[in-house]
């Protein structure tokens, strides 16, 4: 496993992962690229977001923190 901060060019990989999670939990995707772009514009992704990749380089986890309420 490899945990690191995402680069902006990894947004499609993160979006695909989030939508796979949405489908598994809710039966349909619930996150748009615009949603994720907006979130990433409000946080410092080099400090406040993380992705986990397995040995095959597939994303197996994503998390972020923000001060938004």
Q: 16 Cβ partners below 8 Å, 6+ apart?
A: 59
pTM: 0.89
Q: What is the largest CA-CA distance in the chain?
A: 36
Task: Check residue 68 and give its pLDDT.
Answer: 60
Q: Which residues pair with 61 in a beta bridge?
A: 52
Helix (H), strand (E) at residue 49: strand 49-53
Task: Check residue 8 and give its pLDDT.
Answer: 96
Per-residue pLDDT of the chain (69 residues; tens, 9 = 90+): 899 999 999 999 999 999 999 999 999 999 999 999 999 999 999 999 999 999 999 999 999 998 765
């Amino acid at each position: 496993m490899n945990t690191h901060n995402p680069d902006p060019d990894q947004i499609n990989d993160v979006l695909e992962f989030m939508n796979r999670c949405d489908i598994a939990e809710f039966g349909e995707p619930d996150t748009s690229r615009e949603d994720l772009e907006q979130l990433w514009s409000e946080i410092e992704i080099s400090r406040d977001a993380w992705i986990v990749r397995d040995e095959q380089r597939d994303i197996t986890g994503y998390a972020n923190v923000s001060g938004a309420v």
